[in-house]
Amino acid sequence: MQVNLSAIGAFVNEKLTDFGNETNANEMRSAIKLIKSRQGEKYPLHIGDEVIYTDDMTVSVDPANPTQVVGYVSKASRDLAEKAMEASLLAFEKWKRTPVEERAVCLFKAASLIRDKKHEYSAWMILESGKNWTEADADTAEAIDFLEYYGREMLRLNRTNETNPLTRLTGEVNWLDYIPLGVGIVIPPWNFPLAICAGMTSAAVVAGNSVVLKPASTTPIIAYRFYETMIEAGIPPGVIQYLPGSGAEIGDYLTSHPKTRFISFTGSKEVGLRINRLAAETAEGQIWIKRVIAEMGGKDGTVVDETADLDMAAEAIVSAAFGFQGQKCSAGSRAIIVESVYDEMLAKIAELTAKLSLGQPTENKAIGPVIDESSYERILSYIERGKGKNRLLFGGGKGAGEGYFIEPTAFADVNPDSELMQEEIFGPVLAIAKATDWKEAIRIYNDTEFGLTGSYFSHDEDRIEAALRDMHCGNLYVNRKCTGALVGVHPFGGFNMSGTDSKAGGHDYLLLFTQAKLMSRKED
């Protein structure tokens, strides 16, 4: 596959698939059938150019049908983690000298490969993560976007001295070179198992780093498919090590390793803080301060005042709260509504949610399963405690069948200080609070340790200006839902305990994987 760099145009987001078109729907059904026929295969580790099967394996299951094994994935030991680190160090020495253009071409090729088999990648997610067609298709499109965007971004960064030259000093030539950091540990989440995995990994490698990719234990096969794609696109095998395994065993070991230069993580606040703490401790032989790039979740909310379009606000609240079963760091798990329109909004939210069907992701039902048994039990425990302290507006029960299905659930009249309003539940649970006015609603919104996304619904321009100024989050949206950030359009990253505000999919992101070296010489 050849890529003509001179023909690379401006970045454009990948189009989403219209499954109302029967041809597209049939193609997805065929892809699901194909991927189902490949269930139960065994997957190895990849360290350097070695393919390694281990006796200890993770059993990946379909959360909608937990007795169905999607595949068996080898798990790395600490010894294999050390081997992966050594292979990464070796690969880095060559990869960092690979021209930027060659690195970018690999990303463009990978994007093309995924685009050619888009529905197959989505089908893997439908079966392994429980996404419906629409959510899986958006995940695949976002993966393509990250590859296309970061390839262009690295080319742009490489031209910085032309586009943004340093101040001229007579008698000298001065320029900046954005050089790679070294070996990084990439730890992506299970909820966007292709898109975020692709974004975190591709950003690191296009900048010239080598990485150890440790995928989420519930979605390792999707990460494996991405790894295969990157190798097919021309990334040398040692530049990416595919190394699934226990976070406690190999995750902590690699985070603490003296040769680790950076850790790129997306996941829970608790794990992110642990990584940050371990990375801050200087290991024997370590000669740098490790860099941590972390996105750690949120307790996102939607504020609605009495001037808002209530139908539009209700639709946004339902979509943000229950899309992919609320398993998004950007999920709108809180709604804060002024009292004059509170009861009307509750009725609209309940009416819209009642139209959502609960069932199999393979059949493209609106609401599928949560990711695994542990999440299932934890979310249900929040719901049961919530029933004892709050007014249950709807839901609150388990879905039928063997899968990890939970009904979309909402509680009304929730105290802003309660756990339903303060803790990240990461499931289909919406907490709704009443505010006396729009100012109190913003105060309630800000009363959280997180700060990732938020929405403000109003038609009052003065209030909108105040909300834009005072609502404290990394991504604030006015009169639209707080989920659905697009690469290049909505650079994504949050404040406070939501992480390091990394702004994935934005112009600043690749700077996190590089260091600027100033070079100066006397003119002849």
C-alpha 338, offset from chain centre: 32
- Catalytic annotation on 162? no
Q: Cβ contacts of residue 133 below 8 Å, gap of 6+?
A: 17, 19, 25, 28, 122, 126, 361, 364
Cα separation, 338 vs 302, whole angstroms:
11
Cα separation, 272 vs 281, whole angstroms:
15
Q: What is the pLDDT of residue 2?
A: 56
Mean pLDDT, each 10-residue run in order, the chain (524 residues): 73 98 98 97 97 98 98 98 98 97 97 98 98 98 98 96 95 96 98 98 98 98 98 96 95 98 97 98 97 97 98 98 98 98 98 97 98 98 96 94 95 98 98 98 98 98 98 98 98 98 96 97 92
The sign one gets for the Cα dihedral 297, 299, 305, 309 is: positive
Domain spanning 301-486: CATH 3.20.20.60: no
Q: What is the pLDDT of residue 7?
A: 77
Cα separation, 180 vs 8, whole angstroms:
24
Q: Kindly provide the b/e burial profile for residues 209-246, where b requires at least 16 CB atoms within 10 angstroms of the residue's own CB.
A: bbbbbbbbbbbbbbbbbbbebbbebbbbbbbbbbbbbb
Q: Report the number of secondary-structure helices (H) and strands (E) in the chain.
A: 16, 19
Q: What is the pLDDT of residue 5?
A: 67
Q: Which amino acid is at 520?
A: S
Q: What is the pLDDT of residue 400?
A: 80
Supply the angle between the helices 22-36 and 118-129 in degrees, to the nearest 10: 60
Supply the angle between the helices 461-470 and 438-446 in degrees, to the nearest 10: 20
Q: Which amino acid is at 72?
A: Y
Active-site hit among 153, 295, 306, 407: 295
Q: What is the pLDDT of residue 449?
A: 98
Determine the 3-state secondary structure of 387 from DSSP: helix
Enter the tokens of residue 81: 């983690």
Active-site hit among 106, 197, 329, 482: 329
Cα separation, 181 vs 197, whole angstroms:
19
Q: Tokens 């388990």 belong to which residue?
A: 398
Intra-chain end-to-end CA distance of the chain, in Å: 44
Write out the H or E segment, with its range, that includes residue 107.
helix 100-116
Supply the angle between the helices 22-36 and 133-158 in degrees, to the nearest 10: 90
- Locate the domains of the chain by residue range: 45-296+502-520, 301-486
Q: What is the pLDDT of residue 172?
A: 96
Q: What is the pLDDT of residue 207?
A: 98
- Catalytic annotation on 329? yes
Strands 41-43 and 65-74: parallel
Write down the pTM of the prediction: 0.97
Please provide the CATH number assigned to the domain covering 45-296+502-520: 3.40.605.10
